[in-house]
Amino acid sequence: MSIRVLQFICPTGYYGAERWINALVSANTDDAIEYHIAITDEPESSDEVLTRSILPEGQKHRLKMASKFDLLAIVRLARLLKDQQIDIIHTHGYKSDILGATAAKLAGVKSVCTPHGFENAEDSRLRAYMWLGGKAFHWFDQICPLSEDIEKTVVRDYGVDSRSVRLINNGVDLAEVEAAIADPKPHDCTDFTIGYIGQLISRKNLPATLDAFALFHGDHPNARLVLIGDGEEKPRLMEQASELGLSDAVDFLGFRDDRLQLLPGFDVFALTSSLEGIPRCVMEAMAANVCVTAFDIPGVDVLVKDEETGVLVPFGDTRSLAKAWGELMLSPETRKRLAEAGRSRVYSRFSAAAMAEEYAALFKNLSAKQVVSNA
């Protein structure tokens, strides 16, 4: 009999955590694991994680919420767990962690949480969610951070017992990347194209990318910066580009379904985030054989080894980043060497298939413990 695992998230779009869920589900080859996905159906929610999933319709679920703070959703979720005979609920994100951990207790099922990262939050509502989410960590049977830095934060800052914490590295769907780059959609040919794919939010620190590009563009006026993604920072970033005189050199392409097909058109990938787990966008770029340049921060440094699998510069050092782009522009051989080494690193250590195997083993272990406890 299969172990039924419900992936639960409160999605506002189709970003890292949502793509992570579908990568895990798609990579699963273990017949003992039957995945389901549930999302909250509420104002401003997105159902793309369901519509893009390979699961049959009977394993996709929508949890109705009358408002963003509808506490009756916990009761509905507990009922869903019982009705679908779910063995384990696996949550992603502060809000889903709070709802999921509580519903698991009501339904008497095992619970797993994967923290994908933490925010530099200024918004009071988000800070409240983070605080409650931190409390909810203590209610889970297992916490599975996807990077060593997140693991340290969970144990050190949130006081979670290390015995209930298990690091399982982030993984990328290599088949998806391979299919995309086999049918590329290169950007318009320029002297040099720097690209970014991801949310346009504060912790991605994209003003630094624009500042570095302004320095680089001064010496290389035919270069372009391509930003793929949407988010609350977009108006401010467009205004900054205009103030820097870069409006004609920076392309804001918005959210793109064909984002991976655009990767081959990048000469380098740029990431200037202030806070990350193990960034999926960097893994995808590396898997697509694109040279990655980034600020040296925890999480990114797990993937990018300076001058081995990409280029790292000190956090905030936009001048060094611009200089690195200049050197890479003049040395296609170096770009190729770093890109190939980066691709090899992702394939050997950060595949979704390896991640799926580790989670399958974890779910089997938890299920066995549940059987023993019920005996």
pLDDT, tens digit, 9 for 90 and up, residues 165-224? 999 999 999 999 999 999 998 766 678 999 999 999 999 999 999 999 999 999 999 999
Residue range(s) occupied by CATH 3.40.50.2000 in the chain: 3-171+351-374, 174-349
Judge whether residue 31 has pLDDT over 90. Answer: yes
pLDDT at residue 69, as a whole number: 81
Q: Which residues contact 23 (CB under 8 A, 6 or more apart)?
A: 171, 172, 173, 176, 352, 355
DSSP 8-state code for residue 305:
P
Residues 247 and 142: their CA atoms lie apart, in Å, by 47
Task: Give long-range contacts, CB 8 A cutoff, 24+ apart: 107-110.
Answer: 107/78, 107/79, 107/81, 107/82, 109/81, 109/370, 110/141, 110/142, 110/366, 110/367, 110/369, 110/370
* Domain 174-349 grouped into CATH 1.10.3720.10: no
pLDDT of residue 135: 85
Among residues of the chain, what percentage have pLDDT more than 90?
A: 81
What pLDDT shows up at residue 122? 66
Higher pLDDT, 123 or 225: 225
Domain 3-171+351-374 has CATH 1.10.3720.10: no
253: three-class secondary structure by DSSP: strand
Checking if the pLDDT of 120 tops 70, the result is: no
Q: Please, are residues 194 and 263 in contact by the beta-carbon 8 Å criterion?
A: no
